[in-house]
Chains A and B, each alone.
Chain A
């Protein structure tokens, strides 16, 4: 049996990405967690951070996820996030500008969001 899991990355207003993968790495509140096919059923709270999905055709998909949940059962994994963006969709310059602005305005949550975006791009 080909060991792969079906991943659905879902944001509040759209499905961001879905497909087959061999490994998914995400950051939960208690640390990074890697899920491979056959993992024990899991339901966790995600931290803001990049999520790495290794697809079954050998590619890598990185997405910036701002809060949310990871749920895994029966080789089906769903990543739920209020806001999720694929790293290819992220506008680096805009994120950098947002980071600058957030730093100057001492807006902690905006700074974290911009930081997560940039980290997702650099992990690509």
Chain B
């Protein structure tokens, strides 16, 4: 076997091995998307009921709560960025990070100081590499977030928002995550979690036209709101974590699918080249034999004379 042909054969083998790996990753991601989607669906009833309850307290009472009232001058805002722990997901992480950077820039232009909170090793690595300050970070659960993880993330954020601004507390809480629109489309979105705007909440739950009854609050509207809002924030963060996980798996699936396709194409091209090399080798051998025998025939013909 000629040197050229051997090189092609070796490359075909290595690309085939890569293709097998990417194909397996594609299938794993595909099954995880379905699982993640199911989790999103399972968390919906809780989120919906909670939102209804928040709307009910917000509209049914004149309670003023630090979590629902806009501060007159916002000096500091918190941005929570959700990324994934692992890469190989196309532009998934860079899109989320880009959205967070745009939001940070906008907030800073408005004269607000921005504290960044990050979930996922990718985002943490990005910020650390650029030596930007991270207020808090969490890693290790982005593939399959549980409600406990959402609580862990929400706790310092709620604490920060309840603190006075002068003591390092924040006035606003924004969240940047990747919304799972469909298998093919995932978009990085930003949303303001706090202070809560009740109109927005009502719009989202389609309870807009519905007139909520006058509730009897037990023990009191303030206490209910006090207990309700942290849970609401947790449930929103939980939902964002789940959507982000589903989006990540969908992005991985797509990236791995195109990697598999590319590998297939590469194998095709390489096999063609290998075939051509083999043909050329055979042709050369034949011409060598023909040439050799012709030379031999010439030589014998000469000696006969």
Q: How many residues of B contact A (CB 8 A)?
A: 30
Query: Are the C-beta atoms of A45 and B218 separated by less than 8 Å?
Result: yes
Residues of A within 8 A of B167 (CB): none
CB closest residue in chain B, given A40: B216
Nearest-neighbour CB distance to chain B for A62, whole angstroms, equals 20
The reply on B277 being an interface residue by CB < 8 A is no
> Could you tell me if B45 and A28 are in contact, using CB atoms closer than 8 angstroms?
no
| Contact A80 B49, beta carbon cutoff 8 Å | yes
Given that A12-B147, A82-B147 are contacting pairs, would A42 and B49 also be in contact in the complex, using a CB cutoff of 8 Å?
Answer: no
A15 contact from B45, B52, B212, Cβ within 8 A: B45
> Is A71 in contact with chain B by the CB < 8 A criterion?
yes
List the A residue with the shortest CB-CB distance to B48.
Answer: A10
List the A side residues contacting B92 at CB < 8 Å: none
A104 in the interface (beta carbon within 8 A) = no
Say yes or no: B43 contacts A12, CB within 8 Å. Answer: yes
User: Could you tell me if B238 and A78 are in contact, using CB atoms closer than 8 angstroms?
Assistant: no
Is A43 an interface position by the 8 A CB rule?
yes
Shortest CB distance A107–B (Å): 16
Given contacts A45-B227, A80-B49, contact A13 B218 (CB under 8 A): no
**Docked-complex contact A44 and B217, CB < 8 angstroms:** yes
Q: Does A19 contact B (CB under 8 A)?
A: no
The B194-223 residues at the A interface (CB cut-off 8 A) are: 212-219, 223
From A8, A14, A15, A69, give the contact of B53 (CB < 8 A): A69
B221 nearest CB neighbor, chain A only: A43
Q: Which residue of chain B lies nearest to A74 when distances are taken between CB atoms in the complex?
A: B213
Contact A73:B213 (CB < 8 A) given known A13-B147, A80-B46: yes
Query: Is B103's beta carbon under 8 Å from chain A?
Result: no
Q: How many residues of A contact B (CB 8 A)?
A: 26
Write the chain A residue with the least CB distance to B146.
A13
Partner of A13, one of B42, B57, B216: B42
In the complex, which residues of chain A have a beta carbon less than 8 angstroms from the beta carbon of B270? none
* Contact yes or no, B43 A69, CB < 8 A: no
Cross-chain contact of A10 among B49, B56, B223, B227 (Cβ < 8 A) = B49
Assembly CA distance A78 to B52 (angstroms):
10
Report the bound CA distance from A61 to B92 in whole Å: 45
Across the interface, do A13 and B43 meet the contact criterion of CB distance under 8 Å?
yes
Other than the given A12-B46, A82-B151, 20 more pairs (CB < 8 A) read: A10-B46, A12-B235, A13-B39, A13-B238, A28-B219, A29-B219, A30-B218, A41-B213, A43-B57, A43-B215, A44-B217, A44-B224, A45-B218, A45-B227, A69-B50, A70-B218, A71-B52, A78-B53, A80-B46, A82-B231
Instruction: Using CB atoms and an 8 Å cutoff, list the residues of chain B in contact with chain A.
Output: 39, 42-43, 45-46, 49-50, 52-53, 56-57, 146-147, 151, 212-219, 223-224, 227-228, 231, 234-235, 238
